[in-house]
Amino acid sequence: MAVLLRRRSLLSAGLLTVLTACGGTTGHSGASATAVDPDTAARRRVGTAMTALVTGYENSREETPDLQRLLVAELTAVDPGAARAAGAPGTTGAAKAMATASAAASAQATIGASPSARASASATSASAAPVGNAVLAARESALATLCATELLAVSPALARLLASVSAGAAQRAVVLGAQAPAASDPTSASAPTRPSAAELSSLQAALGAEDAAVYGYGVIGAQLSGSDRGLASTDFDLHRAHRDALSARITAAGARPQAAAAAYLLPFDVTDAGSARRLATLLETRLAAVYANGVQAATGAPRSEAATELRAAALRSLSWGGTPTAFPGLPDPASSA
């Protein structure tokens, strides 16, 4: 009876499970493997790919220091340990050799692992050879894809960061000569019937941002001509389609879409082609921030869709004369950690 009571008291206190988990039972000489949480594993895989890419920039036949600095800043946020090993802000001498060897070891360890792990390792094997911009562009595109895959199974905050890194990699790939991916079809987006309160709020925020973009592109198009006006018309139609799709998703979820304003206060006077292009860049930058918040609020397919729209907005900002940035859609790197 005393033994039985002792067992019950430990169990009720939650101690029996703890003792067992900590190896309190006898007869087992080996410690069980410690599970790695999804965030840590994802950071390591993405960090390995980014470290190899940093080495690729160091070995590039063409100088692109501005792009390399953006990559290193993002690596520091994703995997600070890898960034320190790589000798951020640039890899030189022994630190560079150490980083390459470490990345190679990590790549070897992923043989037979998951597709995303193999993708992060594949960039390492050829990273030491001199490369041109086309190769760097392909590796940046691969990094964008890897981040878009990894963000599905991590915490909301890390998903937001990886979505931003994916967008930054896509921007650098385009600057290096890659072709921007085709615009997504708004009508193909998922339509969750029971979004969480946070997801519904992010959908309403995206709807409001798309409403503002539709208005803004109407102003922009009036100041442009030729190919620029054609681009404004295309983006106007795209944002209108996104607006309608978001409104339909919110309605399908049993909520009322927020109404668009009759007019919007512009951040500055738009009186010529230059100010029109500047407004377009600003609209897309602000849209990227809205969709970054949507990534953090959502899970599953809606999270992936928000990440896709973040990346698309970041790329559209380039088409209007914007420049690549570290952490598209994030006001400050520390806010995503």
**What DSSP letter does each residue of 317-328 carry, written as one string?**
HHHTT----SST
Report how far Cα 307 is from the mean position of its chain's Cα atoms: 6
Describe the chain by its helix, strand, coil percentages, rounded to 5: 70, 0, 30
Domain boundaries, given as residue ranges, for the chain: 38-175, 186-332
Burial class (CB in 10 A: 0-12, 13-18, 19+), 34: exposed
- End-to-end, the C-alpha distance of the chain in Å comes to 52
As a whole number, the mean pLDDT across the chain is: 82
- What are the tokens at 2? 């005393």
192 vs 254: CA distance, rounded Å: 10
Domain 186-332 CATH assignment equals 1.20.1260.10? yes
292 vs 328: CA distance, rounded Å: 9
Mean pLDDT within 93-99: 41
Mean pLDDT within 309-332: 95
How many CA atoms within 13 Å lie on the side-chain side of 94?
0
The pLDDT, as a whole number, for residue 102 is: 44
Assess whether pLDDT exceeds 80 at residue 301.
Answer: yes
Assess whether pLDDT exceeds 90 at residue 309.
Answer: yes
Beta carbons within 8 Å of 97's beta carbon, 6+ residues apart: none
Phi then psi for 126, rounded to 5 degrees? -105, 10
Query: Which carries the bigger pLDDT value, residue 21 or residue 106?
Result: 106
Task: pLDDT band for 205, please (50, 70, 90 cuts).
Answer: very high
Task: pLDDT band for 290, please (50, 70, 90 cuts).
Answer: very high
Quick one: which of 249, 250, 262 has its CA closest to 214? Answer: 262
pTM of the model: 0.78
Sign of CA dihedral 245, 323, 224, 274: positive
2 vs 246: CA distance, rounded Å: 64
By mean pLDDT, which of 84-98, 232-246, 253-267 is the weakest? 84-98
Phi-psi region at 70: left, alpha or beta (left = phi > 0; alpha = psi -120 to 50): alpha
The pLDDT, as a whole number, for residue 186 is: 75
Quick one: which of 152, 187, 164 has its CA closest to 299? Answer: 152
Q: Between helices 93-109 and 115-122, what is the axis angle to 10°?
A: 150
138 vs 178: CA distance, rounded Å: 7
The pLDDT, as a whole number, for residue 181 is: 83
Task: pLDDT band for 108, please (50, 70, 90 cuts).
Answer: very low
